[in-house]
Amino acid sequence: MYSNLLVPVDGTDISEQAMRKSVALARQLGARITAFVAEPTAPMSGTGQSVSGIAREHEMHLASTERHARELLERFEATARAAGVPFAGHHVWTEHIDDAIVGAAAEYGCDMIVMVTHGRSALARFFLGSHTAGVMARSKLPVLVLH
């Protein structure tokens, strides 16, 4: 049925739920987990900064997001391994989170995307956006939305 689940996570409380629930699902299906962290690229620097200041700010952003992604993927891997679920974790920097998630599913041979939603109202989604809605609109794969 489904053998490779892409599970994008970002470290929020709701993403912790995605870890636990997707591991339980993968275990039931006999599937593997492909975890994915898409971090935003470095924000634009303020005006008046020197080139070295901008470079230092960029390096600090990369180091911080790399550390965050590594810690998140290690925690996810420990949960999966404890349940006997095969696991692979990947991380990218991108300005287009939704596209990166859909692209990762194709790149890593996933056959389903498992995501969580905050359950925001339509008005909140309009103002805040929704990566889940964006992925559902772009993906040709089934997207299982957990709430």
Q: Which pLDDT tens digit goes with each residue over 46-75?
A: 566 677 777 788 788 888 899 999 999 999
pLDDT of residue 124: 43
Q: Which pLDDT tens digit goes with each residue over 27-43?
A: 999 999 999 999 988 76
Whether residue 143 has pLDDT greater than 90: yes
**What span, in angstroms and rounded, lies between the C-alpha atoms of 2 and 76?**
20
Q: Which pLDDT tens digit goes with each residue over 71-105?
A: 999 999 999 999 999 999 999 999 999 999 999 99
CB 29 within 8 A of CB 85: no
Q: What is the CATH number of the domain that holds 63?
A: 3.40.50.620
pTM: 0.85
- Residues 2-22, mean pLDDT to the nearest whole number: 92
Whether residue 11 has pLDDT greater than 70: yes
Look at strands 4-8 and 87-94 and give their pairing: unpaired
CB 41 within 8 A of CB 93: yes
Structural domain harbouring 19? 4-146
pLDDT of residue 118: 63
- How many helices and strands in the chain, by DSSP H and E? 5, 5
Q: How many domains does the chain have?
A: 1
3-state secondary structure of 21: helix
Under the banding of pLDDT at 50, 70 and 90, the label for residue 123 is very low
**What span, in angstroms and rounded, lies between the C-alpha atoms of 66 and 83?**
26
